[in-house]
Structure 1
Amino acid sequence: MNPAKSKNITIIGGGLWGTTLANLALINNHRVSLWSRRSHHSLESSLNQSEVIISAVAIAGVRPVIEQLKNIVIPNSVVIVTATKGLDPLTTYTPSQIWQTAFPEKVIAVLSGPNLSKEIAQGLPAATVVACQQLEAATMVQGIFASENFRVYINNDPQGTELGGTLKNVMAIAAGVCDGLQLGTNAKAALLTRALPEMMRVGACLGAQSETFFGLSGLGDLLATCASPLSRNYQVGYKLALGKPLKQIMNEVEGTAEGVNTTEVLVVLANQYQINLPITRQVYLLLQGKITPTQAVQALMERELKSEYD
C-alpha cells in the first residue's frame, strides 16, 4: 500500500511496543534492525547505515541509551523518533526534550496515539500521530508506518503530542480505580471529561497547542487507555481499588506502568507552575498510600462548587 522509498531503520527497545513498530515498518518493506539491552549484537552495529532511529524504550531507559549513542558517530541527516511516554524525574523533561538537549543538531520527531500494542499486533485497525516542527521529517516517518490497518497523521506540535500521551497515563490509573470500585458509567464519564482540561492546563503551561489535546494523542489516547484492561496504568488503578498493595501490582503488571512515575513528576510540575490538578493529586496520594481509593473519590466529589469553564 505504501509507495515510500525503503529506509534503513533502527528501533531501540525490544519490548512489545518496539516489536510492534518494527513489524509495522516491515509491512512496508523497510529494512529494520531491532536492538535492546538484551541483544547479542552491539547498538553501533545496529545503527550501520541507519536513516531513522526509533526510540521505544521506557522513560528510565532514555538517558542510558543516549549515553551510548553519544559515543557513536551519527550523521546529522538521521531523524530520531521518540515513541516513549513519560516524564524524566531528574529534569521533568519529556523524552523529546531529553533527546533534543542531547542532540541539538538532530531532527527529533514524536510518535504517539491510542496505540495498544496487543491490538495492533493482532492486525486490528488503529491510528497515530507523528509530530515534528519539520514537515518533511514528519511526512517521511508517516510514510514508514502508514498501512492498511495503521493510519498515521502528522502535526507540528511535538510538545502537545507527547504530553497528551504521557499525562493520560495518570488519568488511566484514576479510571481503573473508578471501574475497580464499580462506580458506574456516570462517574467514569465525569472523570474523563474533567481529565482532559486538567491535561490541557499542563500543556498550556509547557507551551503545547491546546487543539492537540482534542486529537488522537490527547483525547484519543485518553479514551483508549482509560477503557481497556490492556492498559498497564488502568490495571494499576483497578487493582488498587481491589485493595492490592502497589508493590505487588507493579510486579504483576507486564511491562512498565509509566503513569506511576509520571504522577510523581507531574506533582512537582504542578507545584512549580501552580497548576490546579485535582485528579492528579488524588492519584498521587493514593499511590503514596496516604489515602484509600474511596477517600480519593470522596475528595474529588467534595471539592468546592464552581463553574464548569472557569
Structure 2
Amino acid sequence: MTRAVRITVLGAGSWGTGVASLAARNTPTLIWARDPAQAEEINEQRTNNRYLDGHTLPSGLRATADLEEAASQADVLVVGVPSHSIRTVLDEVSPHVRAWIPVISLAKGLEPETRLRPTQVIGECLPGHSVGLLAGPNIAGEVLAGYAAAAVVATPDDAVASALQPLFASPVFRVYRNHDVTGCELGGILKNIVAIAAGMGDGLGVGVNTRALVIARGLAEITRLGEAMGADPRTFAGLTGLGDLMATCMSPASRNRRVGEEIASGKTVEQVLSEMTQVAEGVKTARSVMELADEYDVDVPICSEVDGVVNEGRTAEEAYRGLRKRTPGSEYEAA
C-alpha cells in the first residue's frame, strides 16, 4: 500500500485556509499560520475567525506555527502567503523541503522589486521543483459554505496537473487543468487592479452599464498584456481570466473592489488599507503592472488610471474623467 499524499499550505489567510479545507477532506493536510494563537484556534476550535468568521473547518485539517515542521512533511507544498512575502518565507523553508515535490502558488500579485510572478519567485527559491498555481473565481467564504465553484491547476506538466486535480476537488468544487501558467497567473494578478476600478465606479454610483464597460475593457487590457508576455489568449476567456475578473469585480467580499469603493467615498488609500485585515494585492501591484506595460509597449488605460489613484493621489472622479477623455478605436486593438 502507498500512503496518502500529505499537503502543506503555507499561509492561513482566507484563501489559504479555504484551499487547505478542500484538501483536508481528501488527504492529510497541514496549514502553517504565522501566529501561534491562530494555529491553536484552528486545531482546538476548528475556526479561523480573523479571516473566515462563522465558518467551521474540517476535522482533518491540522495547523502549526512551526515553519520547519510544515515544510518538511509536505508531499505537495502550497504557497498561500502574499506575493511580497513569498521569497522571505521560501528562503527560510527551502532547506526543509524534500526534493522534487510539486509546489503550487495561490498568490495573485507581483514581487515589487523584480516584477516577477509568484511562480517565477518560487522557481528561483526552490529550483528543481515542478511549479504551478491553483486559481479561479473563488471567494473563500462561499467555497467553505459549500457553494458550487471551480478552479484551474496550471502547470507545464499535464501529468503533474492530473495528479493534483483530485487532491483539491470535491463534488461541488471542480478542478480543471491548463498548461498556460503565464496566462492563468497574469489573469489573477491583473484582475485585482480592474476590480479597484470597478469598486470606484460602484462607490461613485456610475451604474451597471459602466461596470460592464470597465469589466469588458479591463479584460481587453489583461488579454493584450498577457499575449505580449507569451500567454495563450484563450486562457483569458476561462476561469482564471473572465471568471476570476467577474467574481472580483462584483463580489461584496472582494478586497480589491472594497478598496475602490472606499476610495470613492473620500478615504485615502492609507486609511483604507489600515482598516483591512488582509492584503489587497491590486494596490501593491498597480505600479509594477504599469512598468510591465511600458516594457512590452502595451496600452492599459484602466490600469493606468488606477495606478494614478493608489500611487499618485488622484481621486476616483478624476480617474473616471480620465477614461472618458480617451478616443475609442477598434474594439480589438488598443486606442
CA displacement at 1:26 relative to structure 2: 1.3
Which structure 1 residue ranges, 4+ long, deviate > 6 Å from structure 2? none
Partners of 1:94 and 1:200 in 2: CA distance: 16
Structure 2 unaligned blocks of 5 or more: 37-63
Q: What is the SS of the residue equivalent to 1:71?
A: helix
State whether structure 2 residue 47 is matched by structure 1 residue 47: no
Q: What is the SS of the residue equivalent to 1:69?
A: helix
Residues 284-293 or 34-43, more deviating: 34-43
Q: Aligned in 2, Cα 1:253/1:89: closer, same or farther, shift over 3 Å?
A: same
Partners of 1:305 and 1:47 in 2: CA distance: 51
CA displacement at 1:101 relative to structure 2: 2.1
Structure 1 unaligned blocks of 5 or more: none
CA displacement at 1:299 relative to structure 2: 1.0
CA displacement at 1:231 relative to structure 2: 0.3
Q: Name the counterpart of 1:70.
A: 94
State whether structure 2 residue 256 is matched by structure 1 residue 233: yes
Q: Name the counterpart of 1:156.
A: 179
State whether structure 2 residue 38 is matched by structure 1 residue 15: no
Q: Name the counterpart of 1:60.
A: 84
Asked whether the 8 Å contact 1:235–1:253 carries over to 2, the reply is: no
Q: Name the counterpart of 1:34.
A: 31
Match of 1:291 among 306, 314, 326: 314
TM-score, normalised by the number of residues in structure 1: 0.95
Match of 1:211 among 231, 234, 245: 234
Residue identity matched to 1:67: D
CA displacement at 1:290 relative to structure 2: 3.6
CA displacement at 1:301 relative to structure 2: 1.0
CA displacement at 1:208 relative to structure 2: 1.0
Q: What is the SS of the residue equivalent to 1:248?
A: helix
Q: What is the SS of the residue equivalent to 2:96?
A: coil
1:125-274 equivalences in 2 (<5 Å)? 125-274=148-297
Count matched residues: 305
CA displacement at 1:274 relative to structure 2: 1.7
Q: What is the SS of the residue equivalent to 2:131?
A: strand
TM-score, normalised by the number of residues in structure 2: 0.88
Partners of 1:155 and 1:46 in 2: CA distance: 28
The one-character-per-residue Cα deviations of 1:51-106 (angstroms, maximum 9, x if unpaired) are 10001111121011111123325222x11011111011111110001111222311
Q: Aligned in 2, Cα 1:291/1:100: closer, same or farther, shift over 3 Å?
A: same
Residue identity matched to 1:53: L
Residue identity matched to 2:187: G
Match of 1:98 among 121, 141, 146: 121
Partners of 1:166 and 1:305 in 2: CA distance: 25
